[in-house]
Amino acid sequence: MGFVPIFLTLGGFIFLFVLVVHHSIKSKKEQYKAALVHLSLLLKNNKLPEDTPTLEKLASLIDKDKDKSSEILSSFGKAKLLRHQYNELIKKRPYSFVAKVSGYNPI
């Protein structure tokens, strides 16, 4: 009976840690995708995009757009920031193990 409670506690801690990190990474990626969809809706005059655009495609559309409003530029900055935060999150040491196991890749 000596080591069984220790192993059960350690296993429970690891399980809960993996669940929390997985949820955190998933929510950060969903925030990034939502920011991209919001930005594409601002650029394409409220047309619903058929797929999630990339940040590079949206950057080229912003460069072509003559009417750059502050809302478009702030949404673009927010999307870039969310991409950076996601990439940094999956590079950090304890989170990188969960990202490898779960199959998350940098954007």
Q: pLDDT (tens digit, 9 = 90+) per residue, 16-60?
A: 999 999 999 999 999 999 998 888 888 765 455 567 778 888 888
* Mean pLDDT (the chain, rounded): 86
Instruction: Identify the CA nearest to 102 among candidates 14, 26, 27.
Output: 26
Residue 38: Cβ within 10 Å count: 14
The backbone torsions φ and ψ at residue 60, rounded to the nearest 5 degrees and listed phi first, read -70, -35
Domains of the chain, residue spans: 4-102
Tell me the Cα Rg of the chain.
Answer: 19
pLDDT at 47: 55
Give this prediction's pTM: 0.80
Evaluate if residue 1 carries a pLDDT over 80: no
User: What CA–CA distance (Å, rounded) separates 100 from 98?
Assistant: 5
Query: Under DSSP, is residue 52 helix (H, G, I), strand (E, B) or coil?
Result: coil
The backbone torsions φ and ψ at residue 54, rounded to the nearest 5 degrees and listed phi first, read -90, 165
Percent of the chain with pLDDT over 70: 91
Q: What would the two tokens of residue 58 be? A: 């949206």
In this predicted model, what pLDDT tens digit does every residue of 46-96 receive, in sequence order? Answer: 455 567 778 888 888 777 776 777 888 888 899 999 999 999 999 998 889
